[in-house]
Structure 1
Amino acid sequence: MYIKNILISGFRSYREQAFEQELSPKNNVIVGKNGAGKSNFFAAIQFVLCEKFMNLSSVERKDLFHVGSGRPALPIFVEIIFDNSDGRLVIPGKSAVNEVRIRRTLGLKQDEFRVNDKRFTATDIRQLLESAGFSSTNPYYIVEQGQISSLANMSDEERFQLIKDVAGTRVYEVRRKESEKILEETEVQHEKIGESIAQLEERLEELRSESDELMSFQEIDKKRKCVQYCILNSDLNAAREELRRLDDERNSYMSRSGRDHYDIDEAKAIISEAESEIRNCDQRILRLEGELQDLDTKRGTLMREKEIVQLNCMSSLNTMKRTESVKTNVLKRVGELNKQIAETNAGLKKKLAIIQREQLTVDQKSEELSAIEGKLKALEARRARQLLFKNKQERDNWLAEESNRNRKTIENYKHELKFTCSEIQKVEKQIEDEETEQKNWEESLKKSDSVITELKSKYEETMAFRNSLSVKKGDLWREQSALVQTVRTLRENHNKARSQLEKVIRSDVRQGLQSLKEVLDELADPSLTNAVHGQLIELIGVSNGYETAVEVTAGNSLFNVVVDSFEVSAILLENMNSRKKPGRISFFPMDTCRGTVTRFGEGVECSSLADHIICDPKFAGIVAELFGNTAVVTSIADGENVSKKYACDAVTLDGDQVSRRGGITGGYIESRSLKLSAFKYEKVAAADFLRGDEALKKITQELDNVNQALTGVVTTLSSLKTEMSSITKSKDGSQVVEQHAQRKAALDRQKDKLYASKKQLEDMINTAQVNIATYQHEGKEAFKSAWSEGEQRELEALVKDVDDRRMELSKLQRRSAQLAAEVRALEDMRLNLNVQLTATKKFFHDSAQLSASNTAITNEKENLDDDISFNSQQANEVYRLLDETRKEKLRREEEVEKLRSGYLEALNSIQERRDFDGRTLMQQAHCIRRRDGAAEKIRQLGVIPKEAETYSGLSREKLIQTLKECNKAAEKYAHINRKAVDQYNTLMETKNGLVAQKEDLQNELKSIRDLMDHLDCKKDEAVERTYKQIQLHFEQVFKELVTTDDCYGKLQLIMSNTRKEAGEDPYVAVQIKVSFGLGAAVTDLKQLSGGQKSLVALALIFAIQRCDPAPFYLFDEIDAALDTEYRASVAKLLSKESGSCQFITATFKNEMLDVADHVLGVFFHNKISRIQAITVEEGNKLLKQAVVEERKRVREHVE
């Protein structure tokens, strides 16, 4: 066992502290500057473990609170986390745990300990630590600053007292003092008993003289008591007989009253049910009337739609008759137009072929002309430049500028050419699309008739399917409306049943059950949930007729929750309390409830109540625990007999109870207050409501499916209409085809223009490139200021060639223009013919569309006729249901009137029985007073003599006469002490008791003296044994620390010269004798140096620790006064001892760091201390800084 971690919050200089890395189970060394917080760290551990901080005043508490920036955070706490893998710390009530967390929380008014989040007292903590090896008599597992010095300067007597404390003699001394106190009290009590015996002897002598007269009086008093008993017994029997008679009469009336109450309850239930049916009828009537109103509204709408459709049908028929008369002439005109269009297309095709050939020739001639013109322009420009420039440099500069300008021009033209090409591609794509659309329209025109026929067939089938869905929707809608009303009624019944069940359950029990459910939901633990089986009332069934008996026997235990084990119930209660859940709850743990069923002999008219309860066999123990010792009887009298004979409880079927202790309870029990009935009614109502709700959800889902199907059908019909309309319109596709042709022709013309622009741009680019080449060539030639004859002849030849080519190109262009005019005329003619053809085809399209429209109107008229017929059928069905519901309501109202009349008669009968019951109760009360008075007087008579039987046959008058004679005879003994004999016997018993008590006290005195002698012996043995152990370990440790060959250290007990009294110690002091190997041995530690004193004190501490080992040790600067060599020895010893226990040591010296397994550095900043793990090198550096700062502080103080 060792300390793994320490959590500190708000303690002194520590605001928040925890170690990220666990402490070492071996040697942990803490280093830091002065004032950094090392001592506060040790104080935090003592705050949890030591009694030093147990009883704190308010001022002492405030000193522990952290004071930083702002107000201190309250409460503060320190938590120590132990590794308990060896099981040394045993927490009461829990199995072994590998980690134990002890936390102490302190506030201004709060001081509590917690072990693994369970609250403990300070005493519990002290006992827990002592059980783990933290001895209260050996506080040296924590060595604070200065404790080494005080131990070194301790006197021999104080040192002996220290050894006694380690030996645990305080316990012996406390026991001895307790024994001495008991001894004194026993001796005083012994003396008092002797005095009391002497006084009793004197009083006994006086009472013997009074006994003779008393014997004569007792004979007369005995006879008088016998006579009084006979008189009182006669009165008692008469009162009991009268009570029995009244009880029989009352039971007879009450049994009839119970039947009347049952009849009333049954009548109430029937009336309530009938009134509920009447309300249902009213709601059905309202619903049916609403349906009827909706149907009338729908019928009016349908009739108006039908009138509109009939008018449309008549108009359509008249239009079709007019169309048929002109249909033949239109067909003839269509044939002529088709022939003319075909001839025009053939001529247009020939002309277009000629134009293409002519255009190629024009383009070729134009390119040749452009090339010659460019060459001509270049020569002319060159001649002009020879006159313009004075030298070659000016010419070359101008040529360079022109070349650059032409290059820019080429770039611009190329951008325009790229744009023109993209536009050409777009136009060609549009032309392609137009051709495709035109072709598609031409093909669709051929298929439209067959598609329309197919769509019409599909439309008619879809309409038929829609009509069937409409019928089904109406049926489902009526069924849903009826179920909505039924479910509403079932919900009201369920709410009523649940309200009744809540009334019979106590509110705190109801809250407790709800809290249990919430806790199980929050924990979400399947194993814990499976261990909870539910309320007992949910797990049992009761035979018919036995519900009242079970109810009164179990009471609120019916709502106890059945769980697997007591541990499960404890876990649930702990979680409910920790979450502060409201309510009250009780459990039946199956592992502790193992009752048995009482069995009755043959011939007894009773049975065990447990035999009439049905449950799963695994719950039989709980049923036997609750009902197994209760018998079911037919009457209270039988219950009294069975209860006395079998020592069990009894209950009647009506709920009257007879307790085994003699109590009888009972009376009328209203059926509405029965928990079992309310629970059963709630379960049935919940099941009915669940079934009705499921049926309603099913019908609603079917209705939703039908509505969705109808929506889909309507969408399909709309789609079919749209498609037929679209196809009908497409039958006039010639116009659309012509439109596509016109758009294609326009696009062709646009394409020709774009190609011309492209050609022009390419020519301009070629011209600019030729110019650049000319300029480059000219720049390479020598500069000439005059024009040569050869150049002049070349220029003239080019001029003549250009004129000839221009004339030829002009002739070709005029011919192309004439052909283009002829093509445009043919295209205009074709366009005109197509327009005429479109107009004639539109006539046929309108005719076909009119026929389709007429068919659709006819179908719509037929559908409206079907809808009106179906609406009439629905209205007739609603009228029929409305009439039946009104008749049912009338019948129920008459039934309720009859039931209410019977209910009032039963109430009057019950009132009469109540009046009779009141009179009977008054008579019974009078008889009870008589009976109790007689019984009380008989009790006051005391023990009745046996002779009383001789007077039982006398009459009442004779008994009264005898009583008077006895009273007269007793008058002459009025002066005597009537209690003399009793007093004598009482005093003799008291005397005998005192004598026995005196003997017991003498034995106790002997035992106490023996115990005291035994304790003295044990104490001496403990001191001797502890001394020897410490002596042996002191010698060993001293040699390990000093390390010289001839060094030694001894402890010597010094005996007392005189031992005056028993119990005193034979020794009075312990002397230390040490030798460091140089000089003589020393017994007076004052002769040693400070370092040697500290070493001797440490040797004694380590010897005590070996004698009484602890799981870990805390040392605060124990090496402060040691010399360097001794510090190394102490460090080596700590390293050796850390193999079996944990050390946490604070130091300012490097020797401890060399053997450390884990180094911790303490830092202080902004009034806050913190501890963190560091390396050995960082620790040495920190110690050097601390030494430097300490020297600096000393110099400043000296200055």
Structure 2
Amino acid sequence: MYIKQVIIQGFRSYRDETIFDSFSPRYNIIVGRNGCGKSNFFFAIQFVLSDEFNNLSAEGRYNLMHEGINSRALNAYVEIIFDNSDSRIMIDKPEVAVRRQISGKKDNYFLDRKVVNKTDIINMLEGAGFSRSNPYYIVKQGKITQMAIAPDANRLQLLREVAGTKVYDEKKHESEAILVETEERRKKIADLLKAIEERLISLETEKEELKQYQKWDRSKRGLECAICTKECEDAKRRIDEIVVKMNSSTKKNEQLETDRLTVTEMIQQTIDSITELKQRLQTQQIERETLIIDNKDNFQRKAQIELELQDFQSETSQRDTKRNQLRKELEKYDQLINESEQKLTKIIPEYNIIRRQEEQKTAQRDLAEEKRKELYAKRGRGNQFTSKEDRDKWIRIELKSLTKAIHDKREQMERLKKDLQDDTIKSHEIEEQLRQIVDNENEQRTHMDNVNIRVRDLRQKKSDIATQKTELARKETQLHIQISQTRDELRKYQDTLRSIINKGAALGTEGLQRLLRQFADENRNQDIINGYHGTLIENLECDPTFYTAVEVIAGNRKFSKPGESPSPTQLKNSNKDIDEHINEEKRNTDKYEVKLRNAQNKLDESAKRQNDIGVPPDGLDKYKDIPIKQLQHDLDRAIIELKKYAHVNKKALDQFLQFSDERDKLTNRKAEIDEAHRHIVDLIESLDNKRFETIQFTFKQVSLYFTEVFKRLVPEGTAHLVIKKGDNEDFDSEQVSLQSPGQQMSVDDFTGVGIKVSFNGRTNEMRDMQQLSGGQKSLVALALIFAIQKCDPAPFYLFDEIDQSLDPQYRNAVAMEGWTISPLHRETVPLLAEMV
């Protein structure tokens, strides 16, 4: 099995679809300049086969896609076609194509152009020989150098990974965690068992006392139940007698009910007075509500005025602050004006002096020019200068000097003029600001005067509102007093009305009105509601001077219904007889009701006590014929006996049984945990033994292959691996195999894996890795990698720049028997490569 073809598109530096084919079944080498894509080709194969790219984020996928000058590829894929003629992949095809395609949101795997899960691809590769515990079928750039300089402890860790002891370590850690948890449970159960045993000892003593207590308690409850039963029977008999008497009284009351209803209408004796009082009360309430509304409006006006006053006060405060700020600015501008005037006072004389100096210098220049001309005329040009060029040069120098002096004086004069103009403008601006400040201050003063006037008006309004508020409060108090007096007067009239008519008539009238209100609420029996016009007193109207005459003449008839017209004598006699009978029957009924209520209470109390006692009915037969006095005497004796056991634990027996059951459960649980503890200890020992055996076997294999591979790479040399312990002892593969985990050596005692090599075959000149050159270290690291690969052979191997740190004399000795792709760092190519 080997790679037959690789197709790349959109992956890193490969923008367009690129096909690599014609690979040899044995040794292939990729050479090229830096930046031509060797490493990206290596990454592409890793992208499909290695676990390093298994979990890519969106950012990671974008980083792998080709990015051009103006745009980025939308997707990328790498497809590897394997030659499966040896059926190493469990698919009945001569070629198998595995593709991985990524985009901004997707990461898909394809097997022969069909979408499959990533897990299926991983399982397929593992079945073909690509072991996840031994990932050295791909050796990245720098891995050989890293292994060459790695310490012994790293090589021991590498040996453990190749041996696959990670699974044993994980199971051991899980077993140790379970063992610690089991120890804690054993300790807790032991503590609980100890506490339960102590409690059971104390409950054993309490249990005997509880038996005596329960004996007298059953006797007491039986006696109490028997007494309650007899009391219930007596109460029921008395209730039956009272019910008979009440039924007889009820029949008499029913006969008087018709006559009593005619008397109940007298409740409206003072209806006119009550109506008048209600009208007065309603009028006063309306007046009170009006005053309350006015008072509320006044309160609102007061609050509004207070808010306006606060606003004016706040505005006044702000204006005062602003005025102070303006005054400070005025003082500042005054100071600036004074400083400007002082500067002007100093600058003007200086300006005049400079101007005079300029005039003097100009006059001096003109005079000098005239003198120069005269001197030229007198001395002659031939005597002053040797040549015309010297004369012109001297003239140019003098003119340049004079011109510069004139220019400097003019610039200084312009600056002084400009400063003078700026100061003048600034002075005018300050005067304008002063004028505005004065105007603003005058406006503020005028506004403050207006605000003060407004504040005085508001204060006057506030005083007026406070006066109105006081007056309204006084009126409200008066209304409250009047309402209270009216209610007292109404209550007095109602009491007078109740005293005039008897209780039965009042109750009858109230019942009739309540019934009519119920009819009105339920909107039914409208004819009855319309046919009832109230009592006679409610339908009478006359002058107040005739109230007494109407009272005497109408008598009790004023509480009757309109339409009835009995004679005064008959009404008085009937009313008197009815009242006497009703009062007598009422007293009898009240007496029977009290007796019935007492008997019922006693019956309920006895039944409740009987339920609380809880003695079954068949336990009462032995007390059936015993008098109640004898039962009470026996009950007193049982209570005295129970007082002797007042301290007894009422739940001792239940607790004893409960704790015994709990002890048995905990004992069984402890036995189960002990058994589990033994199994866990045995499991840990078994894992240690298996781990030691696995590492021992792997070490022997790797050591054997390492010696063979090194001998093939360096025919005249020899090498072997040694395991190091904490006490600096070294053991080779034969010595390790003679030990066992139960005797002297264990996996945890190992500290590293060392390498002993000799390039001349002399065993007395064996050297460690630290004593080798860089090229020798790389060769030894390669030999170790080859040995690891032989322990778990893969279908092919990939090396990235395998020759980077390799000495030239050893480069041709790294040929592999399996299929290999090797991107090289140098331009030299081994002659034994079948495809370059």
TM-score band by shorter chain is 0.3 to 0.5
Q: TM (normalized to structure 2)?
A: 0.42
Relative to the length of structure 1, the TM-score reads: 0.30
